[in-house]
Chains A and B, each alone.
Chain A
C-alpha cells in the first residue's frame, strides 16, 4: 500500500516568508508525528496528533511553528517568518496505534 507522503519534497524560501509543509499519513493511521532532522543527526521530535487532537507540542522550537490535523488525516506544519536556522529536513511519520512509526520522505526546507 501507499506509504507516508509529504509535499513539497523541496522548498526554498526567503527569510521572513511563511511556509506550509504537508503530510499525508498511511490510510487509517491514528497517530501522526512531525520531526526535524539536521544533517548527520537523528530525527528530533516536534509534535504529534492522535486523530485530530494535538497531544504534545513540546518539541516545537518557538511560537513561529504550528501544526494542525483538522480532519484527523492530512496534517500541515506551518512556519511563520522563516529564519535561516529553520533550514532542515522536516519529516512526518504515522502510526496505526501506540508503537511503530513509519516515516515519510521528508521536505527539505532551505531558507535563504
Chain B
C-alpha cells in the first residue's frame, strides 16, 4: 500500500519568509495529492491539491509542485504571515481506482511576527 513521508516535522520562520514542506510517496500509481492545514483544535482544511497530470499549481501565496519520477511533492508558502501558523498535512491517494487518502505525519509551522 501507499506510504507517505513528510519532513521536516517542525519549521519556524520569520514573518515574510518563505516556507517549504516536502513529502514523498511510494505508490507510483498515486494520482492525486492534496494538502491540508489544521489549526489547533480545528478540522483539517483543504488548501490546495494537485493531480498527476500537472507539475505545478499556484493559488495566491501557496504553490504545490509534483515530481512523479522522484515520487515527491512539495508545498511552498511565500510571504508567510502569523495566521499561516498551523500543522500542514500532505496526502496521496492510492492508485488503482481507490479513493483512500494516505496522510503524512504533519509539519508544525510557526510564523513569528
Shortest distance in angstroms between B53's beta carbon and chain A's nearest beta carbon? 13
Choose from A43, A55, A95 the contact partner of B103 (Cβ within 8 Å).
Answer: A43
Q: Given A99-B32, A99-B49, do A45 and B44 touch, yes or no (CB 8 Å)?
A: no
B44 close to A56 (CB less than 8 A): no
Q: With an 8 A cutoff between CB atoms, is A51 at the interface?
A: no
Instruction: Give the B interface residue count (CB, 8 A).
Output: 22
Interface contacts (Cβ under 8 Å), in number, total 54
Bound form: Cα–Cα A82–B99 in Å? 28
B103 close to A59 (CB less than 8 A): no
A45 close to B34 (CB less than 8 A): no
Q: With an 8 A cutoff between CB atoms, is A31 at the interface?
A: yes
Bound form: Cα–Cα A59–B103 in Å? 13
Q: With an 8 A cutoff between CB atoms, is A1 at the interface?
A: no
Q: With an 8 A cutoff between CB atoms, is B105 at the interface?
A: yes
Give every chain A residue within 8 A of B98 (Cβ-Cβ): 56
Give every chain A residue within 8 A of B103 (Cβ-Cβ): 42-44
Q: With an 8 A cutoff between CB atoms, is A106 at the interface?
A: yes
Q: With an 8 A cutoff between CB atoms, is A105 at the interface?
A: yes
- Please report A residues at the B interface, Cβ cutoff 8 Å: 31, 33, 40-45, 48, 50, 55-56, 58-59, 91, 95, 98-106
Known: A33-B101, A58-B100, A59-B100. 11 other contacts (CB 8 A): A31-B99, A41-B105, A43-B103, A48-B99, A55-B99, A56-B99, A56-B100, A98-B32, A100-B49, A101-B34, A104-B43
- Per CB-CB distance, the 9 closest pairs between chain A and chain B, nearest first, are A42-B103, A103-B43, A42-B89, A103-B44, A45-B100, A43-B103, A105-B43, A42-B106, A42-B105
